[in-house]
Amino acid sequence: MDISAEMLGEILAHAREEAPNECCGVVGVVPESDDEPAKAMRVRRARNVHASPKRFEIDGRDVIHAMSEFDEQGWEIGAIYHSHTHTAPYP
């Protein structure tokens, strides 16, 4: 997925604002094509229902709102992000 430095900055700012708790959100993308990777179009913050530094769960209403917005634009959810405040960033 191609994502701009500005959008990465939005995600980092979100993580800093929510610290020490985990932040989370979704990225809307134009789907990939045969010759182009998916392109990030929008970073949408979401609420961590646990408000915890060690757990995250995106509020389901936030996912529904993001999906509705992205559908209207012809986009898809390309990524779900969270900040890994106390663990290494691996799946």
Q: Is 43 helix (H, G, I), strand (E, B) or coil?
A: strand
Instruction: Identify the pLDDT of residue 7.
Output: 98
Instruction: Identify the pLDDT of residue 87.
Output: 76
* Burial zone of 40 (CB within 10 Å; 0-12 exposed, 13-18 middle, 19+ buried): buried
Residue ranges of domains in the chain: 5-82
CB 32 within 8 Å of CB 38: yes
Residue-averaged pLDDT of the chain: 94
Which class would CATH give 5-82? Answer: alpha beta
- Calpha distance 90→76 (Å, rounded): 23
Report pLDDT digits (tens) over 28-56: 999 999 899 999 999 999 999 999 998 99
